[in-house]
Structure formats: C-alpha cells, structure tokens
C-alpha cells in the first residue's frame, strides 16, 4: 500500500560537487536523513547554498546522489526514475522555465502532453488549472506579455499539470508581491487538503511558519533540526527576549549578572531588551524586573527568524558558494 | 504502440512551440524579402562560379547542388533552436518530466523543415530556369518530394549535432556552421563525391544529404524513377540512423547532467 | 578615445567568443570548397581566386557579425538610446571594435593559404606583395567605415539579426569575391562598383597575378573613398535616428 509509505524518505543522502584534479570538492548534502509522511507540508528553511535546491533536484531526478538513498512515493529516485517523475511536480521561483512565445494555454497543453495526457482529459485538466490560477481570461495571450505575478501563477499551474502526489516548491515566492505571497499560502493549504505532499524550500520564516506542518532547518548540507513550527519555538524558547521601560541602572547590572542572560541592549530612548540563552532565564529576568518595581515589561518569543539565526548563527545572511 | 502514440503527441505539442517561434522570427514579408532573398543569393553566388569556369554544365551542377544544400542548411538551424530550451530554463523540467527527450526536440525545431523545402523549391523552380535548370511538371513534383526527404533525413543528423553540443551552448553556431560547410564540401553539392578519396566518400555516404542531392540531380537529369527512389530510400535509412544517434545523445546529455549537476533549476 | 577603447575591448573579448571567430573556423573549409570546384573543372589557374575568396568572406562576415551583435546587445541592455545619442562616439566604438576584428580576420588570408597548401599542395604566390599589402590595409580600413553604415541600418531596423543574414551573400556576389564583377551581367556590374569589396577583390587578384597591375592608386582610392562614404552615410543616418529619438522618444521601427 503506497499510502503507508512515507511520501519522501531520505537516508544518508550525500552529494558532492567537483573534486577533480584542480577543483576542491564541495559538499552540498552531507548524509542527511529525512522522512516526510504523505499529506504533510514540509518546509526546508535555510540560507542560499544550504543544500535545499540540491535536495529538490535529487528528489525530482534531475541530479543523482553521490551516496545514500531517496525514495518518492516509495520509488527510488535513481532506479525508478520513470515512476518518480510521474509522482512529482516541480515549481521553482523566478521567471524562467516558461515558453514566452506561447500562450498560457499552449504552455500547459505542452506539459500536459509530456505527462501523458491526451484528448478530453488533457483539455479538462488545462481548463481546470487555468481557472484555478485565475488565468482563464488571459489564456490565449502570449506569456511574454504577462506580469511577473501571472508568470508565477502559470508556473504553479505547470507544476500541477501532471496531478502529482508530491509537489516540490523550490523558493516559489522569490520576488512575489505580498498579495501573491498571501494567495500562495492559500494554495499550499489547498494542496494539503487535496492530500498532496508538499516540500517547500524557502528562506522566508513567516512563510514557513504560516503553511508548514514541520520545518527542517538546513545549513551547510546538513539538517540541523526538524520540528513543528510551534515546537521549534518552544524548543528554543530559551532565546526569548524581554523588553522593559525605565529600568534603574543598578537593576540593569543585576540583570547582566543573572545566569542565562546573554545580553542587555539599550533601546533608545528609555527601553532595554534582555536576550536570554537558557531555558529558565526568561522567568528569572521577569521576576527580577517585577521585584525591582518595573511596571512596563513585555516578553517576545523568538520568531522563526530568530530561531533560524540562533541555530544557524550569524552565517544566516551569508551566501555559501 | 502506446509508447509511439505518446511520443507522437509529445512531438505535436512541441511542434506548436516551434511554429510559434517561426511566427516571431519571420513575418510573411520578412521571410519572403529577407530570408528567401538571402537564400536564393547563396545559391546564385555558388552557381555563378560556373560563369567563372565558363561552363554551363558546371553552372547547372552547382545550381542544383546548392539549391538542395539550402534545405539542409535551414534544417541545421535545429542545432541553435535546440539550445533555446536551455535559454528558456526548461531543461530541468524536461528532464524531470516522464518522457524521453528526443520527441520533445524533434517537435521543437520542426519549423525549419517546411521553410527549408519552400526556399529550395523557389530556388529550383523559379530561379532555376534562368540558370538552365528546367523541369517537367512531374519531375518538379517529385523533386519537392525529394526535398522533403532531404529535410527529414538531415533533421536526424542536425538533432544529433544539436544533442552533442547541448551542453556547450557557446559552440552551437560554430558546430552547425562547420557541419554545413563539411556537407557542402563532401556531399556532392559542389563537386561529385567521386572527386574525393575513398574514405571521404564513405564519410559522405554516412550523411543523408549525399543521397538526397543525388536524388534531385537524378530528377533534374534523366535518371530512371527507380534510381531516384533508391537514393531517397538511402537518405531516409541513413537519416533514421541519425535520429537514433540523436536519441542516444539526448539521453546521454540528461544522464551526464544528472551526474555532474549541470542542469540547473534557475540560473 | 572611444575608438581605442572599442578596439581594446574587442581584442580582449574575441578569445572568449567562439561565435565571433566563426568565419575563421570555416575559412579553411571554404577554401577547400572553392579549390575543389576549380580543380574539379580542371582550372588550376583559378587557385588565386579560390584562396582569396574565403579570406574576403571572413573579412566581411566578421565585421557584419560584430556590428550587428553590438547593436543587438546594447538594445537588449536598454542602453542603445544612450549610446546612439552621441552619433560620433557611437560610430567610434563601432569602428574601434570592427577594426579589431578586421585585424584578426586578416588571419583568414593565412588560413586559406595554409589550407590550400596542406590539403591540395597548392601554393599561391603573390606576384606584387606591396600592392597586395596596401590593398589589404586599405580594405580593412574601408571595412571599418562600412561597418558604420551597417550598424546604422541595424539601429534603424529592430530585427537586426534578420538583416544581418541578408547582408552576406548578396554582397559576396556584388563584391565579386569569387566571380569578378566584370563577368556579371551589366545591370549587376554597375551597382557592384559602389561596394568597396568589388574593388578590393579585383585588386587583390591582380596583385597575386604575375602580369602588371594597372591603376593601383586610383583603385586604392576607390576602396578608401567608398569606405569613407559608408562611414559618412552611417553617421548621417545615425544623426537622423537621434533626431527622431528626441522627437518621438523611440529609436527605429520594427
């Protein structure tokens, strides 16, 4: 029964590039393990060059692993490529990957034919996708005249043309405007409701937090953690911060001395922000502030962005080539 | 059988893409005055060497050979148009789709075939008489059929070249031009194949154009139908072998890309 | 200054652009084509024609390609308007770049000569080396000037690449690169005299031939004059294009 199989199973998956006589070998994926059950929306969160796209390429059979195994829908990506290709739909961000001289409809018809559709089945699928992505009115216009947003919608429609059980979305919201990004989240929820499995790579925490069932933090070709967004938040609640107003200087010194306090920043004009780094540090900070008679106190759980920055460190903003 | 039907549907879907490209590259006006004019001038340029040689016979020979050559020349533009897939960023999507690459590329550049047959036909029948190349109606019709054979069979060769350089886009124009010039040189376009040493002749016979040129020369002369048919059959047979080579090279391209990671998602 | 910058840029660029060197790749093969035709017809006396033709084609083809490429690249880049707004410096860049490729395309003469010797054992001797060298030099200059006109045509027509194609073989006929224009019908011979290439190819063939060359200076003058006229016509056309750009805000039509 395919339904009892996980939609994606990755074991000790390894991929290196280069390593010839002159070039240094780079590790894109470093023996990763990942299991994604059917119907889950799974986020891969990490900086550029973390290995997210490499994983998507391997899962979509465009790249061979150097070692380890990966299965999609129970099919091995190396040995059973034909079956994997029928199960997977890919969407990547940006504007490339479309035939700009063809109409939106002709683009979809082309890919539908490649996915084995024909006749009525083909035109029904294409009509439904055009309708779903709000492209019906412009279906007979050449794509070169489309706005960026329309091209992205067509990309998404293209990714679904084969009715895939597993959808790989590689940075699909790159360059999307906020409205489009919002619609995109609705789409991902719809895909889940339809029982599809979604693997979404992104470096947008808000996006991952909003749509994912679980998120894997990826960097340097390794999965640092896989958690539910909320669990992930609790797990590093130790990175919570506390803000307060009008704190006497002596109290600030006491705060700095508390175990588990990583830093105390002045936030002009009259506020301070206390960053913690241990599980029970935040409550201790609160207690000390209340005892000192400070009234205006607030706490903030780290957003996924904070989590990401803490786990990955300050490398998060750099691109690793 | 199901596989074949499916491949044909992929060819057709991809051909829609090719025809859309053709409509963007040419309007009827630019095709007629720009492209056709340029092509006819190429035939005239080489045929005029017959004037330099002071030989009406050589002039006719050069005219017919070069008129057939332009069909091949145009079909060889598939080398460049195959690489357009790379420019469009669709290669990873094609590799990831549950279909073989050959049908996609066979459809993708099919636009050059009708154009190549049309330009050569205009050269042969409209310009030919001015150079002493004359036709009876049925021989003219048969010659168009031969041009179709030239186009289809050379297409296999062109796709093989296109597949070979798909990973080296900066070589696409160089490779197609070298292939064209070699065909001009050895396929009986400028001089009979017998002019060359045996091994060159053997190479020439491995190219479909050689047989196609022979077929059209037969029709322009007074060859028996059987001879013309035999040449056409040889052209198609050799062409079919090249389609096979093209298919293998496309698969090899995909396999190499999967190994080295050279098929990028969005670059 | 811009001419010099264009010249340097093009020389640096060339090794990385196999497309721009296309003519030099096919020149030896074209030499074999022309030699095969003449030898098969038993006309060993035409070896000079056969060896000069591919070199002249390389000269023209490379200049045409670079002029077209430059305009197309600037157009894609959205910077064509700014560049053309100063016609003199635009022309200077074109001339600089074309001068560089023309210099390199002279290798075509060497290649053709070597191909003829290596494959057919044909050695073409140049009977009048000074006339030959002078003609090559003046032709290269005329080619750069003519490229100014070509680029103006490309600026004014949006489909530069289609035109780029059309400016090849018609001009090989009119330029008499293999068949001297004196052998063409009269109605073709007259206009061909307006193409500098027809004077160049005649003079080069005469320089190869053993008999005395007549009227060298006036013929060189014709080549130089036509090249200069091409440059002036190109500058004039570009100036008009700029005027239109200022009036209508757009360059050239489809």
Q: Which pLDDT value is given to residue A318?
A: 40
What is the C-alpha separation between A231 and A216, in angstroms, rounded?
A: 12
- Tens-digit pLDDT profile for residues B26-48: 888 888 888 898 899 999 999 99
Q: Which pLDDT value is given to residue B23?
A: 84
The domain locations on chain B are 2-260
Query: Within B76-136, where are the H helices?
Result: 78-88, 91-96, 101-108, 112-121
Please check the confidence at residue C102 and state whether its pLDDT lies above 50. yes
- B253 CB-near residues (< 8 Å, 6+ apart): B101, B163, B166, B167
Smallest CA–CA distance from C42 into chain B, residue: B53
- Asked whether the CA dihedral A204, A205, A211, A212 is positive or negative, the reply is positive
Based on the domain organization, do A214 and A181 belong to the same domain?
A: yes
* Structural domain count of chain C: 1
> How close B1 gets to chain C, by Cα (Å)?
42
Cα C234 to Cα A256, C120, C140, C161, distances in angstroms: 76, 42, 17, 18
Q: Which pLDDT value is given to residue C114?
A: 95
C17 versus A289: which is more confidently predicted? Answer: A289
Whether B195 sits inside 8 A of C40 (CB atoms) is yes
What is the C-alpha separation between B177 and A79, in angstroms, rounded?
A: 39
Whether C41 sits inside 8 A of B62 (CB atoms) is no
Whether A96 sits inside 8 A of B89 (CB atoms) is yes
Query: Within B127-222, where are the H helices?
Result: 137-164, 172-186, 198-205, 208-220
Q: Which pLDDT value is given to residue A237?
A: 59
What's this model's pTM, rounded to 2 decimal places? Answer: 0.85
Which of A158, A149, A98, A100 is CA-nearest to residue A129? A158
Q: Map residue C246 onto helix, strand or coil.
A: helix
Q: Which pLDDT value is given to residue A154?
A: 93
Please check the confidence at residue C162 and state whether its pLDDT lies above 70. no
Please check the confidence at residue C252 and state whether its pLDDT lies above 80. no
- Tens-digit pLDDT profile for residues C42-55: 999 999 999 999 99
- Tens-digit pLDDT profile for residues B176-195: 999 999 999 999 999 999 99
What is the C-alpha separation between C157 and A252, in angstroms, rounded?
A: 73
Q: Look at residue A38 and tell me if it is in a domain.
A: yes
DSSP state of A129: H
Whether B52 sits inside 8 A of C29 (CB atoms) is no
What is the C-alpha separation between B145 and B139, in angstroms, rounded?
A: 10
Which chains have 3+ CB pairs within 8 A of C? B
Q: Which pLDDT value is given to residue A319?
A: 39
Q: Look at residue C155 and tell me if it is in a domain.
A: yes
Nearest to A63 among B13, B14, B261 (CB): B261
Please check the confidence at residue C253 and state whether its pLDDT lies above 60. no
Which of B65, B182, B206 is CA-nearest to residue C25? B182
Domain boundary among A196, A228, A260: A228
Based on the domain organization, do A204 and A245 belong to the same domain?
A: no
> How close C211 gets to chain B, by Cα (Å)?
19
Calculate mean pLDDT across residues C180-184.
Answer: 92
Please check the confidence at residue B154 and state whether its pLDDT lies above 80. yes
Q: Which pLDDT value is given to residue A108?
A: 95
Q: Look at residue A93 and tell me if it is in a domain.
A: yes
Beta-carbon-side half-sphere exposure of residue A20 (alpha carbons within 13 Å):
4
Token pair of C19 as six digits: 């497309």
User: Judging by DSSP bridges, how do beta strands A166-170 and A197-202 pair with one another?
Assistant: parallel
Q: Report the share of chain B in percent with pLDDT over 90.
A: 76
Calculate mean pLDDT across residues B220-243.
Answer: 95
Based on the domain organization, do A165 and A254 belong to the same domain?
A: no
Whether C22 sits inside 8 A of B173 (CB atoms) is yes
Mean pLDDT of chain C: 85
Choose the mutation target among A63, A105, A152 for the interface with B, i.e. most B CBs under 10 Å: A63
Nearest to A102 among B9, B17, B97 (CB): B17
Q: Which pLDDT value is given to residue C10?
A: 77
CB A161 within 8 A of CB A108: yes
Q: Which pLDDT value is given to residue A2?
A: 46
Q: Which pLDDT value is given to residue A73?
A: 92
Please check the confidence at residue C7 and state whether its pLDDT lies above 90. no
Q: Look at residue C138 and tell me if it is in a domain.
A: yes
Choose the mutation target among A62, A75, A78, A102 for the interface with B, i.e. most B CBs under 10 Å: A62
Whether C34 sits inside 8 A of B49 (CB atoms) is yes
C249 versus C147: which is more confidently predicted? Answer: C147
Q: Which residues of chain B are within 8 Å of residue C120 when distances are taken between CB atoms? A: none
Q: Does A113 touch chain B (CB under 8 A)?
A: yes
Please check the confidence at residue C21 and state whether its pLDDT lies above 90. no
CB A50 within 8 A of CB A170: no
Whether C184 sits inside 8 A of B35 (CB atoms) is no
* Structural domain count of chain A: 2
Smallest CA–CA distance from B91 into chain A, residue: A97
C6 versus C121: which is more confidently predicted? Answer: C121
**Domain coverage including residue A288:** 237-301
Q: Which residues of chain B are within 8 Å of residue A63 when distances are taken between CB atoms? A: 258, 261, 263
Q: Report the share of chain C in percent with pLDDT over 90.
A: 44
Based on the domain organization, do A208 and A264 belong to the same domain?
A: no
Calculate mean pLDDT across residues C94-116.
Answer: 87
Based on the domain organization, do A57 and A175 belong to the same domain?
A: yes
- Which class for A92: exposed (0-12), middle (13-18), buried (19 or more C-beta within 10 A)? buried
Residue with tokens 């194949």: B193
Based on the domain organization, do A259 and A154 belong to the same domain?
A: no
Number of CB atoms found within 10 A of residue B189's CB: 27
Whether B92 sits inside 8 A of A109 (CB atoms) is no
> How close B93 gets to chain A, by Cα (Å)?
7
Q: Look at residue A309 and tell me if it is in a domain.
A: no
- Tens-digit pLDDT profile for residues C185-223: 888 888 999 999 999 999 999 999 888 888 999 999 999
CATH number for A289: 3.30.2130.10
pLDDT < 70 positions in chain A: 1-4, 20-23, 231-238, 301-321
- Which class for A267: exposed (0-12), middle (13-18), buried (19 or more C-beta within 10 A)? exposed
> How close C46 gets to chain B, by Cα (Å)?
9
- Tens-digit pLDDT profile for residues B72-90: 999 999 999 898 888 888 9
**Domain coverage including residue C204:** 2-248
Smallest CA–CA distance from B23 into chain A, residue: A101
Nearest to C29 among B30, B58, B185 (CB): B185
Mean pLDDT of chain B: 92
Q: Which pLDDT value is given to residue B21?
A: 82
Q: Look at residue A183 and tell me if it is in a domain.
A: yes
Q: Map residue A311 onto helix, strand or coil.
A: helix
Please check the confidence at residue B110 and state whether its pLDDT lies above 80. yes
């Amino acid at each position: 029964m395919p339904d009892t199989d996980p939609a994606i199973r990755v074991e000790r998956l390894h991929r290196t590039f280069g390593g010839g006589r002159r070039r240094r070998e780079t590790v894109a994926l470093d023996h990763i393990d990942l299991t994604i059950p059917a119907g889950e929306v799974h986020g891969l969160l990490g900086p550029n060059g973390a290995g997210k796209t490499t994983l998507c390429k391997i899962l979509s059979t465009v790249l061979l692993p150097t070692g380890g195994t990966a299965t999609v829908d129970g099919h091995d990506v190396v040995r059973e490529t034909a079956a994997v290709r029928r199960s997977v739909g890919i969407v990547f961000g940006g504007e490339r990957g479309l035939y700009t001289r063809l109409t939106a409809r002709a683009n979809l018809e082309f890919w539908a034919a490649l996915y084995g559709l024909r006749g009525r089945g083909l035109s029904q699928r294409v009509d439904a996708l055009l309708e779903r992505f709000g492209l019906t009115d412009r279906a007979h216009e050449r794509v070169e005249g489309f706005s960026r947003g329309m091209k992205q919608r067509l990309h998404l429609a293209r990714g679904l043309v084969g009715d895939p059980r597993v959808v790989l979305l590689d940075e699909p919201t790159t360059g999307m405007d906020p409205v489009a990004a919002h619609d995109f989240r609705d789409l991902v929820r719809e895909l889940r409701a339809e029982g599809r499995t979604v693997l979404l790579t992104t470096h947008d925490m808000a996006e991952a937090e909003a749509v994912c069932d679980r998120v894997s933090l990826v960097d340097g070709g390794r999965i640092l953690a896989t958690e539910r967004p909320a669990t992930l938040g609790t797990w590093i609640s130790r990175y919570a911060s506390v803000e307060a107003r009008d704190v006497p200087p002596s109290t600030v010194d006491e705060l700095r001395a508390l175990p588990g306090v990583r830093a105390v920043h002045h936030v002009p004009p009259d506020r301070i922000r206390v960053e913690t780094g241990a599980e029970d540090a935040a409550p201790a900070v609160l207690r000390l502030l209340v005892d000192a008679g400070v009234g205006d106190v607030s706490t903030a759980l780290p957003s996924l962005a904070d989590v990401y920055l803490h786990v990955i460190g300050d490398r998060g903003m750099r691109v690793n080539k | 059988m199901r596989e074949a039907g499916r491949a044909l549907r992929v060819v057709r879907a991809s051909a829609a893409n090719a025809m859309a490209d053709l409509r963007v590259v040419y309007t009827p006006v630019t095709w007629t005055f720009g492209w056709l004019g340029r092509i006819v001038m190429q035939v005239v340029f080489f045929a005029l060497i017959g004037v330099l040689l002071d030989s009406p016979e050589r002039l006719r020979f050069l005219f017919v050979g070069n008129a057939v050559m332009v069909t091949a020349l145009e079909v060889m533009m598939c080398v460049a148009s195959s690489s357009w897939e790379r420019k469009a960023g669709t290669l990873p999507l094609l590799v990831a789709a549950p279909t073989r690459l050959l049908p996609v590329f066979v459809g993708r550049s099919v636009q050059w075939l009708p154009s190549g047959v049309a330009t050569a036909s205009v050269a042969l029948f409209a310009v030919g008489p001015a150079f002493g190349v004359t036709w009876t109606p049925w021989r003219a019709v048969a010659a168009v059929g031969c041009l179709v054979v030239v186009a289809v069979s050379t297409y296999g060769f062109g796709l093989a070249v296109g597949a070979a350089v798909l990973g080296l886009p900066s070589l696409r124009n160089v490779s197609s031009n070298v292939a064209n010039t070699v065909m001009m040189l050895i396929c009986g376009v400028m001089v009979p194949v017998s002019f060359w040493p045996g091994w060159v002749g053997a190479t020439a016979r491995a190219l479909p154009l050689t047989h196609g040129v022979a077929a059209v020369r037969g029709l322009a002369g007074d060859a028996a139908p059987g001879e013309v048919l035999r040449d056409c059959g040889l052209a198609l047979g050799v062409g079919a072998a090249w389609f096979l080579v093209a298919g293998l090279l496309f698969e090899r391209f995909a396999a190499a890309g999967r190994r080295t990671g050279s098929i990028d998602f969005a670059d | 200054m811009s001419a010099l910058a264009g010249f340097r840029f093009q020389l640096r660029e060339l090794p990385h652009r196999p497309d721009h060197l296309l003519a030099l790749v096919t020149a030896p093969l074209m030499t074999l084509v022309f030699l095969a035709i003449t030898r098969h017809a038993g006309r060993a006396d035409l070896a000079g024609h056969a060896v000069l033709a591919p070199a002249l084609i390389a000269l023209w083809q490379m200049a045409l390609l670079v002029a077209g490429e430059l305009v197309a690249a600037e157009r894609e880049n959205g910077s064509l308007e700014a560049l053309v707004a100063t016609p003199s410096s635009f022309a200077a860049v074109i001339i600089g770049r074309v001068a560089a490729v023309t210099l390199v395309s002279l290798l075509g003469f060497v290649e053709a000569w070597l191909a003829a010797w290596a494959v057919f054992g044909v050695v073409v001797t140049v009977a009048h080396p000074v006339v030959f060298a002078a003609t090559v030099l003046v032709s290269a200059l005329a080619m750069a000037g003519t490229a100014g006109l070509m680029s103006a045509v490309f600026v004014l027509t949006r489909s530069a690449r289609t035109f780029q194609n059309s400016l090849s073989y018609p001009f090989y006929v009119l330029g008499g690169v293999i068949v001297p224009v004196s052998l063409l019908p009269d109605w073709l011979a007259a206009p061909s005299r307006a193409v500098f290439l027809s004077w160049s190819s005649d003079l080069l063939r005469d320089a190869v031939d053993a008999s005395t060359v007549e009227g060298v200076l006036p013929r060189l003058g014709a080549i130089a004059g036509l090249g200069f006229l091409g440059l002036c016509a190109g500058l004039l056309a570009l100036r008009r294009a700029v005027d239109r750009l200022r009036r209508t805000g757009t360059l050239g039509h489809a």
